[in-house]
């Protein structure tokens, strides 16, 4: 069963509103094992809506249309559906009564234009709207639609709070019943960091080339890394889970420590989990990032079980007075080590990490922009510094520096105590 999606609204094309509805509907369809091959957006124009539906239904079994069911003159989905089916619009007395009742219950005067929402293509079924006045439409195309006969169109309002219960309670069950072969589609995301997409693809090229079920896709997330998404289609949850587990095991073996997490895990949540598993606390000293590392860590619920705090030591005198930095150059590897050791001592933590560097736009003490030093002080390990050159402008250097420091700590924790991740 294939069901594609058509979003209607000139405001979507102008970028005034982001189409989150199609993404949500696609997720629900996938969960029910219904394939979606195309999503399209058109403006409030009857001709274009009819053209889009004609083209999409030539390939799909069904289309869900979102938007264009309101009371104003630019709401043209009803007219487009009637034209597509070759039938007239008919006013439904029961729908008119419902609309009048809604306005009366709210104590509001009803504009006559609202009754347009009671007009449905002849032969179509109304989809109840529990939270609004515009009913949805289920239209099974008959002989008047020519080669599209037998296809079905569902139209739902563009308001998310109205659309979602209508899709969940009425559209999805109808689609599953029509498909005749209930199935589930499940995805799992492996999160990687520290490798280019091309290099990542080479590591698992044979798995990608041989993919059938599960399938593999790459999703670039910029500073946050690259996601390797595994998608399996199966008869039930158990079978889908088994397919995902098997493929994940193969991919993790290939990717090694490039893979830092799964699904909704972030670099900071993984680091906090690693530290919590060891019963260790953490303190952070930042210069060039100005608090970005600590902000990432505190964005994780429950971070207080691990994180003692952070010190933003931007000025030289703060590095020396608060963190005990004695290195001649306060932007250097030795200074990063002393920052890590100093914040660990000052905040009474088991682990101290630090970052200092040159974000630009000018060179500092002859050091190129993007030169960053990390400092680490962990139990049972010598204190160390690591130097990297990070790409981009000032903000990208700062953002890359924050996640790079957390990734370095993750790698050290995994090297010392194994990887307790999923």
Position 222 pLDDT exceeds 90: no
% of the chain beyond a pLDDT of 90: 77
CB 89 within 8 A of CB 78: yes
Specify the pLDDT at position 417.
60
For domain 3-179, the CATH class is alpha beta
How do residues 240-289 score in pLDDT, each as one tens digit?
A: 999 999 999 999 999 999 999 999 999 999 999 999 999 999 999 999 99
Mean pLDDT of the chain: 93
Q: Check: CATH 2.40.30.20 for 267-417?
A: no
Residue 176 has pLDDT above 60, yes or no: yes
419 pLDDT exceeds 50?
no
Q: What is the pLDDT of residue 212?
A: 87
Residue 172 has a pLDDT of 93
For residue 371, what are the β-bridge partners?
389
**Residue 8 confidence (pLDDT) above 50:** yes
**Architecture of the 184-262 domain:** 2-Layer Sandwich (3.30)
**Taking the complete model, does pTM exceed 0.75, yes or no?**
no
Give the largest Cα separation in the chain, rounded: 86
Give the pLDDT confidence of 230-246 residue by residue, as tens digits. 989 888 889 999 999 99
Query: pLDDT for 38-76, tens place per residue?
Result: 999 999 999 999 999 999 999 999 999 999 999 988 999
Give me the mean pLDDT over the 339-349 stretch: 97
| Position 116 pLDDT exceeds 60 | yes
Residues 208-218 have a mean pLDDT of: 89
Per residue in 161-175, pLDDT (tens digit) is 999 999 999 999 999
- Residue 258 is predicted with a pLDDT of 96
Q: Is the pLDDT of residue 420 over 60?
A: no
What is the domain partition of the chain in residue ranges?
3-179, 184-262, 267-417
- pLDDT top residue among 362 and 130: 130
Place 327 in a pLDDT band, splitting at 50, 70 and 90. Answer: very high
Q: Does pLDDT of 183 surpass 70? A: yes
pLDDT reported for residue 128 = 93
pLDDT at residue 372 in the model: 96
With 70 as the cut, is the pLDDT of residue 422 above it? no
């Amino acid at each position: 069963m294939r069901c594609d999606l058509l979003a209607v609204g000139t405001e979507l094309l102008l970028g005034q509103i982001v189409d989150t509805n199609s993404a949500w509907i696609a997720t629900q369809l996938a969960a029910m094992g219904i394939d979606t091959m195309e999503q399209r957006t058109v403006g409030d124009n009857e001709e274009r809506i009819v053209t889009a539906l004609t083209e999409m239904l030539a390939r799909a079994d069904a289309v869900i249309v979102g938007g264009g069911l309101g009371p104003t003159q630019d709401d043209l989905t009803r007219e487009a559906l009637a034209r597509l089916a070759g039938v007239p619009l008919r006013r439904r007395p029961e729908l008119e009564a419902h609309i009048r009742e809604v306005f009366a219950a709210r104590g509001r005067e009803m504009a006559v234009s609202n009754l347009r929402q009671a007009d449905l293509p002849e032969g179509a079924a109304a989809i109840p709207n529990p939270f609004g006045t515009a009913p949805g439409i289920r239209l099974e195309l008959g002989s008047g639609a020519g080669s599209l006969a037998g296809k079905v169109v569902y139209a739902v309002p563009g308001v998310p709070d109205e659309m979602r219960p209508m899709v969940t309670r009425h559209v999805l069950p109808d689609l599953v019943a029509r498909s005749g072969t209930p199935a589930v589609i499940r995805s799992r995301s492996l999160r990687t960091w520290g490798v280019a997409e091309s290099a990542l693809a080479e590591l698992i090229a044979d798995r990608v080339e041989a993919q059938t079920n599960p399938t593999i896709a790459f999703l670039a997330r910029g500073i946050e890394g690259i996601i390797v998404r595994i998608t399996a289609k199966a008869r039930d949850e158990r079978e889908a889970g088994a397919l995902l587990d098997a493929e994940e095991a193969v991919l993790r073996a290939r990717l090694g420590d490039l893979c830092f997490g799964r699904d909704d895990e972030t670099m900071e949540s993984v680091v906090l989990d690693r530290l919590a598993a060891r019963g260790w606390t953490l303190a952070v000293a930042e210069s060039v990032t100005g608090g970005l590392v600590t902000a990432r860590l505190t964005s994780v619920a429950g971070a207080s079980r691990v994180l003692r705090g952070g010190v933003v030591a931007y000025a030289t005198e703060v590095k020396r007075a608060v963190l005990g930095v004695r290195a001649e150059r306060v932007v250097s590897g030795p200074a990063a080590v002393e920052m890590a050791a100093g914040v660990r001592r000052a905040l009474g933590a088991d682990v101290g990490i630090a970052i200092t560097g040159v974000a630009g736009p000018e060179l500092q003490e002859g050091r190129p922009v993007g030169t960053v030093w990390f400092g680490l002080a962990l139990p049972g390990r010598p204190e160390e510094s690591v130097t990297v050159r990070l790409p981009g402008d000032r903000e990208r250097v700062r953002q890359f520096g924050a996640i790079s420091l957390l990734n370095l700590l993750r790698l050290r924790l995994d090297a010392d105590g194994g990887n307790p991740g999923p």
